[in-house]
Protein backbone atom coordinates (compact mmCIF):
# COMPACT_ATOMS: atom_id res chain seq x y z
CA UNK A 1 0.00 0.00 0.00
CA UNK A 2 1.49 3.29 -1.11
CA UNK A 3 2.19 6.05 1.36
CA UNK A 4 0.95 9.27 -0.21
CA UNK A 5 2.96 12.35 0.75
CA UNK A 6 2.32 15.95 -0.30
CA UNK A 7 5.36 18.26 -0.37
CA UNK A 8 4.08 21.74 0.40
CA UNK A 9 4.97 25.27 1.41
CA UNK A 10 3.22 28.25 -0.19
CA UNK A 11 6.53 30.09 -0.36
CA UNK A 12 8.28 29.69 -3.69
CA UNK A 13 11.90 28.66 -3.98
CA UNK A 14 12.20 26.80 -0.66
CA UNK A 15 13.16 23.45 -2.22
CA UNK A 16 9.79 21.71 -2.70
CA UNK A 17 10.47 20.48 -6.22
CA UNK A 18 14.13 19.66 -5.53
CA UNK A 19 13.02 17.61 -2.53
CA UNK A 20 10.11 15.88 -4.27
CA UNK A 21 12.24 14.87 -7.26
CA UNK A 22 15.30 13.77 -5.32
CA UNK A 23 13.55 12.07 -2.41
CA UNK A 24 11.33 10.19 -4.88
CA UNK A 25 14.36 9.26 -6.99
CA UNK A 26 16.35 8.18 -3.91
CA UNK A 27 13.55 5.85 -2.81
CA UNK A 28 13.38 4.48 -6.37
CA UNK A 29 17.16 4.01 -6.26
CA UNK A 30 16.68 2.01 -3.04
CA UNK A 31 14.30 -0.27 -4.92
CA UNK A 32 10.90 1.22 -4.09
CA UNK A 33 8.24 1.80 -6.73
CA UNK A 34 7.47 5.49 -6.73
CA UNK A 35 5.01 7.80 -8.49
CA UNK A 36 5.55 11.56 -8.54
CA UNK A 37 2.51 13.72 -9.28
CA UNK A 38 3.51 17.17 -10.50
CA UNK A 39 0.88 19.63 -9.32
CA UNK A 40 2.61 22.88 -10.20
CA UNK A 41 1.93 24.59 -13.53
CA UNK A 42 5.63 25.39 -13.81
CA UNK A 43 6.18 21.68 -14.42
CA UNK A 44 9.69 21.74 -12.98
CA UNK A 45 9.44 18.23 -11.54
CA UNK A 46 8.24 17.00 -14.94
CA UNK A 47 11.13 18.47 -16.92
CA UNK A 48 13.57 17.75 -14.09
CA UNK A 49 12.92 14.05 -14.59
CA UNK A 50 13.55 14.12 -18.30
CA UNK A 51 10.03 14.56 -19.64
CA UNK A 52 9.73 17.17 -22.37
CA UNK A 53 6.70 19.33 -21.58
CA UNK A 54 6.21 20.02 -25.31
CA UNK A 55 5.58 16.29 -25.86
CA UNK A 56 3.04 15.88 -23.05
CA UNK A 57 -0.43 15.28 -24.49
CA UNK A 58 -2.45 14.95 -21.29
CA UNK A 59 -1.43 15.97 -17.82
CA UNK A 60 -2.64 16.41 -14.25
CA UNK A 61 -4.97 19.20 -15.43
CA UNK A 62 -6.98 16.65 -17.43
CA UNK A 63 -7.20 14.41 -14.36
CA UNK A 64 -8.41 17.22 -12.09
CA UNK A 65 -10.66 19.17 -14.42
CA UNK A 66 -11.80 16.63 -17.03
CA UNK A 67 -11.66 13.55 -14.81
CA UNK A 68 -9.34 11.74 -17.18
CA UNK A 69 -8.29 8.40 -15.61
CA UNK A 70 -4.87 9.00 -14.05
CA UNK A 71 -3.52 5.72 -15.52
CA UNK A 72 -3.69 7.35 -18.97
CA UNK A 73 -1.42 10.16 -17.88
CA UNK A 74 1.39 8.29 -16.11
CA UNK A 75 4.75 8.58 -17.92
CA UNK A 76 8.11 6.91 -17.50
CA UNK A 77 10.89 9.13 -16.17
CA UNK A 78 14.67 9.17 -16.61
CA UNK A 79 14.94 7.06 -13.43
CA UNK A 80 14.11 3.39 -13.11
CA UNK A 81 11.26 2.62 -10.64
CA UNK A 82 10.02 6.21 -10.83
CA UNK A 83 6.97 7.33 -12.82
CA UNK A 84 5.54 10.82 -13.27
CA UNK A 85 2.12 12.36 -13.73
CA UNK A 86 3.28 15.47 -15.59
CA UNK A 87 2.14 19.06 -15.33
CA UNK A 88 2.27 21.73 -18.01
CA UNK A 89 1.27 25.37 -18.12
CA UNK A 90 -2.37 24.45 -18.78
CA UNK A 91 -2.60 23.58 -15.07
CA UNK A 92 -2.53 27.33 -14.41
CA UNK A 93 -6.22 27.40 -15.39
CA UNK A 94 -7.24 24.73 -12.89
CA UNK A 95 -7.53 27.01 -9.85
CA UNK A 96 -10.29 29.00 -11.50
CA UNK A 97 -11.93 26.17 -13.39
CA UNK A 98 -12.28 24.03 -10.27
CA UNK A 99 -14.00 26.83 -8.34
CA UNK A 100 -17.49 25.99 -9.53
CA UNK A 101 -17.18 22.25 -9.83
CA UNK A 102 -18.69 19.70 -7.44
CA UNK A 103 -16.32 17.68 -5.21
CA UNK A 104 -13.53 19.94 -6.35
CA UNK A 105 -11.40 19.22 -3.26
CA UNK A 106 -11.42 15.46 -3.73
CA UNK A 107 -10.59 15.13 -7.44
CA UNK A 108 -7.03 13.99 -6.82
CA UNK A 109 -8.03 11.79 -3.89
CA UNK A 110 -10.56 9.96 -6.07
CA UNK A 111 -8.06 9.65 -8.92
CA UNK A 112 -5.26 8.03 -6.88
CA UNK A 113 -7.28 5.49 -4.91
CA UNK A 114 -6.80 2.78 -7.53
CA UNK A 115 -3.02 3.33 -7.53
CA UNK A 116 -2.38 2.54 -3.88
CA UNK A 117 -1.51 -1.09 -4.43
CA UNK A 118 0.75 -0.38 -7.42
CA UNK A 119 3.35 1.83 -5.71
CA UNK A 120 5.25 2.04 -2.44
CA UNK A 121 5.22 5.84 -2.43
CA UNK A 122 3.24 8.54 -4.18
CA UNK A 123 4.60 12.10 -3.88
CA UNK A 124 2.72 15.25 -4.83
CA UNK A 125 4.78 18.35 -5.67
CA UNK A 126 2.55 21.28 -4.65
CA UNK A 127 2.46 24.78 -6.18
CA UNK A 128 3.50 27.88 -4.18
CA UNK A 129 -0.05 28.71 -3.07
CA UNK A 130 -2.77 27.42 -0.75
CA UNK A 131 -5.52 27.18 -3.36
CA UNK A 132 -7.50 24.27 -4.80
CA UNK A 133 -4.42 22.40 -5.99
CA UNK A 134 -2.85 22.29 -2.54
CA UNK A 135 -6.20 21.42 -0.94
CA UNK A 136 -6.56 18.56 -3.44
CA UNK A 137 -3.07 17.36 -2.57
CA UNK A 138 -3.78 17.45 1.20
CA UNK A 139 -7.11 15.69 0.75
CA UNK A 140 -5.43 12.92 -1.27
CA UNK A 141 -2.47 12.44 1.07
CA UNK A 142 -1.62 10.50 4.20
CA UNK A 143 0.82 13.18 5.27
CA UNK A 144 2.48 16.48 4.42
CA UNK A 145 6.22 17.09 4.20
CA UNK A 146 7.17 20.75 4.64
CA UNK A 147 10.51 21.99 3.30
CA UNK A 148 11.74 25.09 5.14
CA UNK A 149 14.60 27.11 3.73
CA UNK A 150 17.34 28.05 6.22
CA UNK A 151 16.94 31.77 5.55
CA UNK A 152 15.57 34.91 7.18
CA UNK A 153 11.82 34.64 7.87
CA UNK A 154 11.92 30.85 7.56
CA UNK A 155 8.87 30.45 9.80
CA UNK A 156 6.93 33.26 8.15
CA UNK A 157 3.81 31.98 6.44
CA UNK A 158 3.94 28.60 8.15
CA UNK A 159 0.91 29.44 10.31
CA UNK A 160 -1.23 29.88 7.17
CA UNK A 161 0.12 26.59 5.86
CA UNK A 162 -0.78 24.87 9.14
CA UNK A 163 -4.24 26.51 9.05
CA UNK A 164 -4.87 25.00 5.64
CA UNK A 165 -3.58 21.68 6.95
CA UNK A 166 -6.06 21.78 9.87
CA UNK A 167 -8.90 22.93 7.62
CA UNK A 168 -8.41 19.92 5.36
CA UNK A 169 -8.15 17.66 8.44
CA UNK A 170 -11.44 19.01 9.74
CA UNK A 171 -13.45 18.90 6.54
CA UNK A 172 -11.98 16.40 4.10
CA UNK A 173 -9.26 14.16 5.53
CA UNK A 174 -9.31 13.58 9.29
CA UNK A 175 -6.34 11.19 9.15
CA UNK A 176 -3.95 13.70 7.55
CA UNK A 177 -0.61 13.81 9.40
CA UNK A 178 2.46 15.97 9.45
CA UNK A 179 5.11 13.77 7.85
CA UNK A 180 8.02 16.01 8.80
CA UNK A 181 9.74 19.34 8.41
CA UNK A 182 12.84 19.40 6.23
CA UNK A 183 15.48 22.10 6.57
CA UNK A 184 16.84 22.98 3.12
CA UNK A 185 19.62 25.00 1.50
CA UNK A 186 21.70 25.36 4.66
CA UNK A 187 24.77 27.48 4.08
CA UNK A 188 27.28 26.01 6.54
CA UNK A 189 29.51 29.09 6.28
CA UNK A 190 27.10 31.43 8.04
CA UNK A 191 25.64 31.52 11.55
CA UNK A 192 22.24 32.55 10.27
CA UNK A 193 21.54 29.11 8.85
CA UNK A 194 22.20 27.41 12.16
CA UNK A 195 20.07 29.96 14.01
CA UNK A 196 17.19 29.09 11.72
CA UNK A 197 17.77 25.38 12.37
CA UNK A 198 17.47 25.99 16.14
CA UNK A 199 14.37 28.13 15.72
CA UNK A 200 12.59 25.58 13.53
CA UNK A 201 13.54 22.74 15.92
CA UNK A 202 12.16 24.72 18.87
CA UNK A 203 8.85 25.02 17.06
CA UNK A 204 8.48 21.61 15.38
CA UNK A 205 10.58 19.50 17.81
CA UNK A 206 10.87 15.81 16.84
CA UNK A 207 9.00 16.49 13.60
CA UNK A 208 12.18 17.98 12.11
CA UNK A 209 14.21 15.50 10.06
CA UNK A 210 17.70 14.74 11.34
CA UNK A 211 18.90 15.06 7.76
CA UNK A 212 19.50 18.69 6.79
CA UNK A 213 19.91 19.56 3.11
CA UNK A 214 22.91 21.84 2.52
CA UNK A 215 23.37 24.09 -0.47
CA UNK A 216 24.93 21.95 -3.16
CA UNK A 217 25.52 23.20 -6.67
CA UNK A 218 25.06 19.71 -8.17
CA UNK A 219 21.44 19.77 -6.92
CA UNK A 220 20.78 22.95 -8.87
CA UNK A 221 22.51 21.65 -12.02
CA UNK A 222 20.78 18.26 -12.25
CA UNK A 223 17.34 19.47 -13.50
CA UNK A 224 18.80 21.02 -16.65
CA UNK A 225 20.02 17.52 -17.57
CA UNK A 226 16.56 16.05 -16.92
CA UNK A 227 18.00 13.92 -14.15
CA UNK A 228 17.62 13.48 -10.43
CA UNK A 229 20.73 13.78 -8.32
CA UNK A 230 21.20 9.99 -8.01
CA UNK A 231 21.58 9.78 -11.78
CA UNK A 232 23.34 13.08 -12.36
CA UNK A 233 26.02 12.65 -9.68
CA UNK A 234 25.65 9.81 -7.19
CA UNK A 235 28.91 10.84 -5.48
CA UNK A 236 27.77 14.39 -4.75
CA UNK A 237 26.84 15.68 -1.29
CA UNK A 238 23.34 16.28 -2.69
CA UNK A 239 22.87 12.59 -3.50
CA UNK A 240 24.28 11.58 -0.12
CA UNK A 241 21.82 13.74 1.84
CA UNK A 242 18.72 12.84 -0.18
CA UNK A 243 19.55 9.13 0.17
CA UNK A 244 19.95 9.70 3.92
CA UNK A 245 16.55 11.44 3.97
CA UNK A 246 15.02 8.53 2.04
CA UNK A 247 16.25 6.12 4.72
CA UNK A 248 14.78 8.33 7.44
CA UNK A 249 11.42 8.37 5.64
CA UNK A 250 11.54 4.57 5.31
CA UNK A 251 12.30 4.16 9.04
CA UNK A 252 9.44 6.51 9.99
CA UNK A 253 7.05 4.25 8.13
CA UNK A 254 8.04 1.11 10.04
P1 LIG B 1 10.27 25.34 -4.94
O2 LIG B 1 9.78 24.11 -5.63
O3 LIG B 1 9.92 25.38 -3.49
O4 LIG B 1 9.87 26.59 -5.64
P5 LIG B 1 12.90 24.55 -5.91
O6 LIG B 1 13.09 23.15 -5.46
O7 LIG B 1 12.47 24.76 -7.33
O8 LIG B 1 11.89 25.30 -4.95
O9 LIG B 1 14.26 25.34 -5.59
C10 LIG B 1 14.42 26.71 -5.94
C11 LIG B 1 15.79 26.90 -6.58
O12 LIG B 1 16.80 26.56 -5.64
C13 LIG B 1 16.02 25.99 -7.79
O14 LIG B 1 16.76 26.71 -8.73
C15 LIG B 1 16.82 24.83 -7.23
O16 LIG B 1 17.66 24.25 -8.20
C17 LIG B 1 17.61 25.50 -6.14
N18 LIG B 1 17.90 24.59 -5.01
C19 LIG B 1 17.01 23.90 -4.28
N20 LIG B 1 17.61 23.20 -3.30
C21 LIG B 1 18.94 23.46 -3.42
C22 LIG B 1 20.11 23.04 -2.70
N23 LIG B 1 20.03 22.23 -1.64
N24 LIG B 1 21.32 23.51 -3.11
C25 LIG B 1 21.41 24.35 -4.15
N26 LIG B 1 20.35 24.78 -4.87
C27 LIG B 1 19.12 24.35 -4.51
MG1 LIG C 1 8.44 23.88 -7.23
Which of left, alpha, beta for 102 (phi over 0: left; psi -120 to 50: alpha)? Answer: beta
Residue 127 has pLDDT above 80, yes or no: yes
**How much is the pLDDT for 86?**
98
**Ligand nearest to C-alpha 245:** 1
Supply the ipTM of this predicted assembly. 0.99
Per-residue confidence band for 1, with pLDDT thresholds at 50, 70 and 90: very high
Ligand showing the shortest atom-to-Cα distance for residue 10: 1
Query: How far is the centre of ligand 2, averaged over its atoms, from the C-alpha of 45 (Å)?
Result: 7
Q: Which pLDDT value is given to residue 77?
A: 98
- On whether the CB atoms of residues 181 and 208 are closer than 8 A, the answer is yes
CA distance 198 to 26: 27
Q: How far is CA 18 from the centre of its chain?
A: 8
d(CA 139, CA 250): 22
Ligand 1 pocket list (CB less than 6 A): 12-18, 44, 128, 184-185, 213, 215-216, 219-220
How far away, in angstroms, is 41 Cα from ligand 2 center? Answer: 9
- CA of residue 13 to ligand 2 center, whole Å: 7
Q: What is the residue with the minimal CA distance to atom 26 of ligand 1?
A: 220
Maximum Cα–Cα distance for the chain, whole Å?
Answer: 51
What is the SS3 string spanning the chain? CCEEEEECCCCCCCCHHHHHHHHHHHHHHCCCCEEEEECCCCCHHHHHCCCCHHHCCCCHHHHHHCCCCHHHHCEECCCCCEEEECCCHHHHHHHHHHCCCCCHHHHHHHHHHHHHHHCCEEEEECCCCCCHHHHHHHHHCCEEEEEEECCCCCCCCHHHHHHHHHHHHHHCCCCCEEEEEEEECECCCCHHHHHHHHHHHHHHHHHECCCCCECCHHHHHHHHHCCCHHHHCCCCHHHHHHHHHHHHHHHHCC
Site to probe by mutation for ligand 1, drawn from 11, 13, 157, 243 as the one with most ligand atoms within 8 Å of Cβ, is 13
In ligand 1, which atom is closest to the CA atom of 11?
3
Atom of ligand 1 nearest to the CA of 221: 16
> What protein residues have CB closer than 5 angstroms to ion ligand 2?
16-17
Instruction: Give 208's strand partners.
Output: 181
Strand partners, 182: 147
Q: Which CATH class is domain 3-252?
A: alpha beta
**Do 120 and 107 form a contact (C-beta atoms < 8 A)?**
no
pLDDT score recorded for residue 110: 97
Per-residue pLDDT, 175: 98
Q: Which tens digits make up the pLDDT trace of 64-100?
A: 999 999 999 999 999 999 999 999 999 999 999 999 8
The answer to whether the CB of 66 falls within 8 A of the CB of 72 is no
Give the pLDDT confidence of 133-157 residue by residue, as tens digits. Answer: 999 999 999 999 999 999 988 888 8
Amino acid sequence: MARIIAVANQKGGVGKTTTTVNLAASLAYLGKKVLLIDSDAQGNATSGLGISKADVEKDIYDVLVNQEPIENVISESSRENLWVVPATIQLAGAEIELTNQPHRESRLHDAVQGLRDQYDFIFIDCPPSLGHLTINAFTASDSVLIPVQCEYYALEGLSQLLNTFRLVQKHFNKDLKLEGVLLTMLDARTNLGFEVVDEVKKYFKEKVYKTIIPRNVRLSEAPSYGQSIVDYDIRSKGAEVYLELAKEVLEDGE
